[in-house]
Structure 1
């Protein structure tokens, strides 16, 4: 089981700017924990995501010398990918491709067809730089716009990504719409149809539904999970009405119960949790 820690997702919607030094210290603490991957920042327009305008500066302050954790950066277009590709310490370049035409336009101001063109060009870029593209199928468990959704639709998208050589595809719950009934069938069917592709789950949850969501994905074959310490995301997990990121603490709990052995440094995890509380309590 692989854990992808996503401080980028936890911080990006925070309205008060978190100082660069504080971000860097927190990320360095997370690097010592032993996560498989750290979704640490994004190369997008600072007007769109002002909280992450300092990603390049933060990257310079990260200490990777004693960490096996791989870095992932999110981009919204080819220009962002080209910027990320200039930093060889970044292993993965992540791109959100929506299965909802409406959301693709809202999120990147492009059509799905145009976004797929970007994916193809980013894949070529990664082939040249030795990096790897991770495609997030956003609105992967349904959408509020009435756009078509089904496991078959996800299969059609995955077929196109497979033809381009994309090796990691993460089904992403953009709005907290996922339920066990919408989680299990896609993972079960996609894993069978594309056994050479690594599928991930980027789930959002309320405090009382996290277990059923993780269990649905895990039992359907998913072994790559995104989470964020404290369950922070666009909104913190303050009430049951909010759907923040899947709390990493809960993923660790589930992995232990499932008999998965994660190579985590518990002391470093405790330090990272303490910093997490300091940051989000102060901002």
Structure 2
């Protein structure tokens, strides 16, 4: 078993596309990714179809996934309690992900609620997840700063990390929604979080410009983070963030880097290559 939990994020890759991807095509792509051997597949979201029309068919996609020959766990994003209540009814889903922004402006843009209101949602979500055999993954969104002029500093990260872990969050993923993280920030924040919350799984979800992605992957690795999100070919971004989107960290770059360090990832690279080829039907 690999020490690293790689989270593949086709949901993040697809959600901002303007043309609707047919459900059958989405399902075929996800079924290929399920055979690669990732720890987790961030496959869809239970949010307003008006906000994210691309994910309107998440329940239908889920019903057609082949989960019989995979150990990969499914993660679905939710943005409010309505989404939580829908998602927990699906026994196939292991994780519910919630974007908790430390930027008030982005929290309003992304979930139409304040940070204070979102904290209440997280509390209720934790309770609902516990009763339905699910785990919550809370993304500390805009964790490296924001483009809106909202206050950001290391103390704010510490404050919200304390608040969320004290409420029982077991998986906390630091998210750079607009690609403004730096090597210096990664190496300052991640090791401190990992050391301070040794009973909490600390993950990272970065967006990046192509020229910065490799140095960021190296910074993640040297920071000791073992839960890393990526998306095939670096597709995607958050349509609620800015109009000038940066892509996800390419999963193939993460795989290549970790393999070069001698890490055993136990992935089926033939299926990965098939997924890479199939992705052209969706993203090209």
- Choose from 139, 152, 156 the match for 1:153: 156
Q: Is 269-278 or 64-73 further displaced after alignment?
A: 269-278
Give the whole-Å Cα distance in 1 for the aligned partners of 2:154 and 2:5: 23
Aligned residues of 2:137 and 2:170 also touching (Cα < 8 A):
yes
- Choose from 264, 270, 278 the match for 1:261: 264
Give the whole-Å Cα distance in 2 for the aligned partners of 1:207 and 1:242: 12
Superposition CA RMSD, Å: 1.2
Give the whole-Å Cα distance in 1 for the aligned partners of 2:245 and 2:108: 25
Give the whole-Å Cα distance in 1 for the aligned partners of 2:42 and 2:140: 16
- Choose from 7, 10, 18 the match for 1:7: 10
Give the whole-Å Cα distance in 1 for the aligned partners of 2:212 and 2:10: 21
1:141 alignment partner in structure 2: 144
1:185 pairs with 2:185: no
Give the whole-Å Cα distance in 2 for the aligned partners of 1:182 and 1:143: 13
2:166 alignment partner in structure 1: 163
Superposed CA offset, 1:30-88 (max 9, x none): 00000000000000000000011000000000011110000000000011011000001
Give the whole-Å Cα distance in 1 for the aligned partners of 2:12 and 2:246: 13
- Choose from 231, 235, 238 the match for 1:228: 231
Give 1:258 deviation, angstroms: 2.0
Give the whole-Å Cα distance in 2 for the aligned partners of 1:106 and 1:50: 16
Correspondences of 1:100-139 after superposition (within 5 Å): 100-139=103-142
Secondary structure, aligned partner of 1:184: helix
Could you state the TM-score of these two structures normalised by the residue count of structure 2?
Answer: 0.95
1:27 pairs with 2:30: yes
Secondary structure, aligned partner of 2:180: coil
2:199 alignment partner in structure 1: 196
Correspondences of 1:67-78 after superposition (within 5 Å): 67-78=70-81
Number of residue pairs aligned between Structure 1 and Structure 2: 276
Aligned residues of 1:136 and 1:169 also touching (Cα < 8 A):
yes
Give the whole-Å Cα distance in 1 for the aligned partners of 2:174 and 2:218: 15
Q: Is 118-127 or 217-226 further displaced after alignment?
A: 217-226
Structure 2, unpaired ranges of 5+: 239-243
- Choose from 54, 58, 61 the match for 1:58: 61
Give the whole-Å Cα distance in 2 for the aligned partners of 1:178 and 1:139: 9
Give 1:242 deviation, angstroms: 5.8
Secondary structure, aligned partner of 1:203: strand
Aligned residues of 2:207 and 2:237 also touching (Cα < 8 A):
no
Secondary structure, aligned partner of 2:108: helix
Give the whole-Å Cα distance in 2 for the aligned partners of 1:165 and 1:68: 26
Runs of 4+ in 1 over 2 A off after TM superposition: none
Secondary structure, aligned partner of 2:67: coil
Give the whole-Å Cα distance in 2 for the aligned partners of 1:198 and 1:141: 19
Structure 1, unpaired ranges of 5+: 236-240
Give the whole-Å Cα distance in 2 for the aligned partners of 1:118 and 1:234: 24
Give 1:150 deviation, angstroms: 2.2
Secondary structure, aligned partner of 1:178: coil
1:252 pairs with 2:241: no
